[in-house]
Amino acid sequence: MLLSVIIISFNGEKYIGQAISSCLCLAGADHEIIVVDNGSTDGSLDLIRSIAAGCGSPFRIIENHENKGPGEARNIGLAHVSGEYCMFLDGDDWLEPEAIPRIVACLQEWKPDVLMFNHQQVWPDGRKIPNVPNRYVDLGDRWADLTDPAVRKGAIRNLHVPWNKAYRMGFVRDHGLLFPCQTYYEDMVWSIRATVEAAAFYYIPDVLHNYRRHPQSSLHTTHDGHFNIIRECRRVEALLKDHADYRQWYGTKLYGYMRSTLFGVINTGSRIPKAREGDYLKEVSVLLKDFRRMLGLRGPDILSLVAATGDSRMYSAVSGWAVRVNRLKGRMYKLRNRVLK
């Protein structure tokens, strides 16, 4: 068995059929499907069973009697993998028809530790927005060997999620890759470690994964769990402290990624409870200061300085200005690409 596709399902009766079907009926694709049902209370588990009964592909269902969170559910799926490689699919997302054959062919040809592919965001109004290229990440429109760190650092500011990659299981086991048992931001350190620790790393620009954007996502809830992003960034800091080579090649890029992610959490205005916004800002400011010291970065960071006050109103005013500047940069990037084409 070459590839194991791990699908995580929780109360996804509306979407799970599409997710599973996007992995089925693929002639010649050497793969299996593992569905981990995370304690669903709707009709999704019955639907999964009915699909499995009429499926010609190797298919396993793992039933958790309670919702263990996405991280632990993925760990459980990993423990049942038979394939030489694994990849992940959330139960409300789906793959393009050519995804599995394309991934299998690339794994057979290159035998990488990690293969990264492109995805697109799919919005409720039907908009489809490819993730790469963007003004942070532009790897071109052809496959790329990113094994050399000097080349790979161009991908470091890509979205750090587990489902835009396939992983060699020997690599996963050798590096002890596991997800933390939490609901929020459980996937960031996994993806960053896989990206920087892989010996052989390849990228294909094909849009193979559809990432469904909808307001029911846990990321749109107001909850103290969003403070987890600070804890996960501390884990990235520890990783860089322990590995001078990672720090040299990827440190500045990872700092930029984490800074935008940390501030992005509060910029939504809906994730951090209002009473805790000051605490969040202060913790973020301390974290970024420690990072800058570790990396030897100089020069002021206006947002971080304002965040240190814990004054959420002042921060909101300054960040609003920064958002407008970033939007202008984004428009300039798109305009430049149009002119160059």
Contact (Cβ atoms closer than 8 angstroms) between residue 30 and residue 43? no
How do beta strands 165-168 and 85-90 pair?
Answer: antiparallel
Q: How high is the pLDDT of residue 341?
A: 58
Q: H-type helices in 80-223, by residue range?
A: 99-110, 149-152, 169-174, 188-197
pLDDT digit string, tens, across residues 242-300:
999 999 999 999 999 999 999 999 998 889 999 999 999 999 999 999 999 999 999 88
User: The dihedral of CA 132, 298, 191, 92: what is its sign?
Assistant: negative
Q: How high is the pLDDT of residue 139?
A: 87
pLDDT for 36 beyond 90: yes
The fraction of the chain above a pLDDT of 90, given in percent, is 80
**Separation of alpha carbons 322 and 59, rounded Å:** 49
Q: How high is the pLDDT of residue 340?
A: 62
pLDDT for 216 beyond 70: no
Helix (H) or strand (E) holding 335: helix 312-340
pLDDT digit string, tens, across residues 74-100:
999 999 999 999 999 999 999 999 999
Contact (Cβ atoms closer than 8 angstroms) between residue 258 and residue 234? no
User: For the chain, which residues make up each domain, given as ranges?
Assistant: 3-216, 224-340
CATH topology of domain 3-216: Spore Coat Polysaccharide Biosynthesis Protein SpsA; Chain A (3.90.550)
User: pTM for the complete prediction?
Assistant: 0.92
Q: How high is the pLDDT of residue 158?
A: 94
